[in-house]
Amino acid sequence: MRGPLAERVLLVGWDAADWKLIHPLLDSGQMPALAGLVEQGVIGDLASLDPTYSPTVWTSIVTGKRPHKHGVLWFTEPTPTGDGIRPVRSTTRRCKALWNVLGQAGLASHSVGWWASHPAEPIDGVCVSNEFARASPVRPCLKPLPPGTVHPSSLLSTFDELRISPEELDPSILRFFVPRAAEIDQEKDDRLAVLGACLSECFTTHNAITSILENQQWRFASVFFDTIDHLSHGFMQYHPPKLAHVDARDFELFHHVVTSCYRLHDLLLARLLSLADDDTAVILVSDHGFHSDHLRSYGAPKAPAGPAACHRPYGIFAMKGPNVRRDERVEGVSVLDVTPTILGLLGLPVGADMDGRFVAEAFDPARAPAIETIPSWEDVEDPQGLGGMHPSDLQEDPYTATDLLGRMEALGYVEKSGEGRETAVVSVREAQRTLARDLLHADRPSEALPVLENLARRHPDEQRVLFSLAGCYLRLKRRDDAAEVLVRIEKATQNDGEPDADALLLRAAIHVASDEPRQAIDLLWRGAKVAHASRRARILVAIGEAHLSLREWPTARTAFEEAVEIDSDLARAHVGLTITALRMRLKQKALEHALRSVTLLPTHGATHFRLGMALVRTGELPAALRAFETSVALEPTRRIAARWIERLRRFGVQAPSADSHRHDERPPDDPRHD
C-alpha cells in the first residue's frame, strides 16, 4: 500500500453553507479563517444529490455511496412494531462509514454530531451522536443525556460537562445576531428562543470536537454543525435585500442573523484550524446551499420536507493540507467524492462500489499517484470489531425519538406525529419516494419505475408520486403511460381553470415526446408569463429544449440564455447552451458551457461526453480523451464515447495529468477536422 498524502484528516461539515453568501463576507474581511483556508488550498462547488435531504446527503458524504446503497432515505423510519416512527439512526445505514473503514484499518477516528449517528457506534475512537447537542427553545434547561449518546460510555460524564444550555448564553452573544434584542417581547415572540437553542447546540458541538482534538490521538476526525441550515430556515426571509412580504420592523431586527451565523462559524473554524498542524488535511463541506437572493420563495410547500425547496443543489468544498494545490479552484466535485478523497489522502484504497472518485486535480500531480481500489470495503472482514458497526437488532430509545422528532416537526421537515400507523405509512412513503428520486438522479429509470408504480398504487392521490412516475415513464420513452398519469394529475390540480405549473411542464414534455414541439412551446410561453422567477427559469429551459427538437438552434439558445440570467446554476440550461453552441460551431462558447455543465452535473456521463466533443472542436485532444474516459466510467453503455476513445488512441493521443483540463498537443492527422 502506498504512503498517505497527509498524516491526519479533519472533516468539518456546515449544513447548508453557500458560496453565494460566503464570498461577499470573504471579500469584506469578515471570515478571515476561511479566507486563509481558501488561500492555502483549493475550493469548488460541491454538487449535491436529489433530493437534498440532510440525513441522506450527509450519509453519502461519509460513505461515498448514493442513498439507494446506504439505505438512509428519510428523516424518520417506522418503529419495529409499525405503530409509529422514530428518527433515522446509525443502525439504518447499510454500509460502513468513514470511521468504520478507518477504524478497521487501524487508524484512530472520531466523529461528533453527524446526522443519523445515534446511538453512537463503538468505533476505535470517540463517537458523539447527533443527540448530544440537542436543545429546546421551550425547555431551555439541559436534560440528562440518553443512553448511547457517547462512546465510550466512560466519557459520558466528561462530555456532559461540555454542554451549553440556552439559558447559559451571555446576552452579548444574542446581540451579536440581533443588536436590538432588548426591544423584543419574548412573551409574544419566540424567535430569540429559537436562536438561543440553535446557538447552544452549536457551542456544545464545538466544545465536544475541540476536547477530542486536544486530548485524543487521532488520524481522522469529523464534526457536523447544523446551525447555518436551521438559522437559514428561520431567518433567511429577513436577509437583505428586503422581500416585499417581510414586515419592516422584523427586517430591521433580524437582517443580521444569517451573516452573523457565518461569521460565528468562521470564529469556530479558526479554533479548529489551530488544532490541526501542517501534516493535517482540513476539508470543509456542506451538503447543499441555500437560496439567499431573488430565488428565495415565500413560504415552504405544504408537503413533507417542504422546507427543502429553499435548498440550492450546490454546497461548498474547501481543502488545504500537505500536497494540496494552493489558491486554486477545482470543478466537478460531488458530495460522493468526499469519502474516496479522504481514503486516498490516508493511503487507503477506494471501494470500487463507491459512487464517487478521488479528486486528483486538487493535489500536486507529482505527489498524487494513481489511487488503488478494492472491490468493496463491505467485504473486508473485521474480526476484532475495530470498525464499530452496530448489530442490526439494536433498538431506539423512545424518549430520545420523541425529542428529536419534535425538533424536526418544528423545522417543518416532518408532519406532526400522532399515535397509530398513519405516521409510519408517511415515513415509508417518503423513504420510497427518495429511493426512486435517487435512482432517477443516477440515471436508472428502469429500477425507479417499479418503486414508483407501487407507490402510485398505494397512494393514488399523492401528486408528487404521480409527477415522478410520469417523468419516469417519459425517461423510458413510454409517453402514452405518462399521458395517462397526466390526466389523473390534471383532474386534481385544476385551479380556477388554470393548470398547475408543474402539470403544464409535464404536458409540454409529453408534446415534445409526441413530436408536437410547437404545441409545447405555445403552452410553455403562456405559463412563463405568470411564473415565479425560479419556475420561469425552468419553463424557459423546457422552451429551449422544445426548440432543440426542431433544430432551431439560435431560438433555443436565446431561451437557455434567458434561463441562465435568472438562475446561473441551472444545469439543464448550460447543457442546452452546450448543445446549441456545438451545433452553431461556437467552439469557445461550447467549451465554456460544457465545463460549467460538468461542474453542475459531475456524476452524469452525458455532460462529460459533451465536454469531450467541445474539447475536440477546440483541438484539445488529450483533455477530450480524458472527458470521454470519464463519460464511459460513469456510463459504461455510452458507446459513442467509447468509439471516440478508440479513435483518439488510434491517433496516439494520451490523456493529460489530473492537474490540467487543457492541452494544445495535436496529432498530425487531427480527427477534429472530420
From CA 231, how far away is CA 259, in angstroms rounded?
10
Confidence of residue 494 (pLDDT cuts 50, 70, 90): low
From CA 206, how far away is CA 197, in angstroms rounded?
14
Q: What is the mean pLDDT of residues 633-657?
A: 88
In angstroms, the Cα distances linking 471 to 10, 167, 217, 550, 628 are 41, 50, 51, 21, 28
Q: Could you identify the residue written with the cell 425547496?
A: 309
What confidence tens digit (pLDDT) does each residue in 403-418 have? 555 566 666 666 665 5
Give yes or no for residue 673 having a pLDDT over 80: no
Give yes or no for residue 616 having a pLDDT over 90: yes
Residue (of 101, 97, 152, 96) closest to 125 by Cα position: 152
CB 193 within 8 A of CB 166: yes
From CA 31, how far away is CA 267, in angstroms rounded?
8
Confidence of residue 140 (pLDDT cuts 50, 70, 90): low
Residue (of 263, 286, 273, 356) closest to 321 by Cα position: 273
Q: What is the pLDDT of residue 409?
A: 61
Give yes or no for residue 604 having a pLDDT over 80: yes
Q: In the CATH hierarchy, which top-level class contains the domain 8-398?
A: alpha beta
Report the range of poorest mean pLDDT among 359-373, 447-461, 639-653.
Answer: 359-373
Mean pLDDT over the full length of the chain: 89
What confidence tens digit (pLDDT) does each residue in 218-256 have? 999 999 999 999 999 999 999 999 999 999 999 999 999
Separation of CA 146 from chain center: 30
Domain spans in the chain, listed from the N-terminal domain onward? 8-398, 569-674
Report the range of poorest mean pLDDT among 404-413, 430-439, 497-506.
Answer: 404-413
Q: What is the pLDDT of residue 369?
A: 67
Burial class (CB in 10 A: 0-12, 13-18, 19+), 589: middle
Residue (of 45, 61, 15, 58) closest to 261 by Cα position: 15
Q: Could you identify the residue written with the cell 418503486?
A: 451
Give yes or no for residue 637 having a pLDDT over 50: yes
Q: What is the pLDDT of residue 417?
A: 53
Could you tell me the end-to-end alpha-carbon distance of the chain, in angstroms, rounded to an integer?
Answer: 45
HEC string for 424-460? HHHHHHHHHHHHHHHHHHCCCHHHHHHHHHHHHHHCC
Q: Which residues pair with 42 in a beta bridge?
A: 319, 328
From CA 583, how far away is CA 326, in angstroms rounded?
37
Report the range of poorest mean pLDDT among 122-136, 203-217, 575-589.
Answer: 122-136
Pairing of strands 333-334, 41-47: parallel
Quote the CATH superfamily of domain 569-674.
Answer: Tetratricopeptide repeat domain (1.25.40.10)
What would the grid cell of residue 19 be? 458560496
Helix, strand, or coil (residue 285): strand
Helix 463-475 / helix 479-493 crossing angle, nearest 10 deg: 160
In this structure, is the dihedral angle defined by the CA atoms of residues 234, 238, 239 and 241, taken in order, positive or negative?
positive
Angle of CA points 73, 78, 81, to nearest 5°: 155
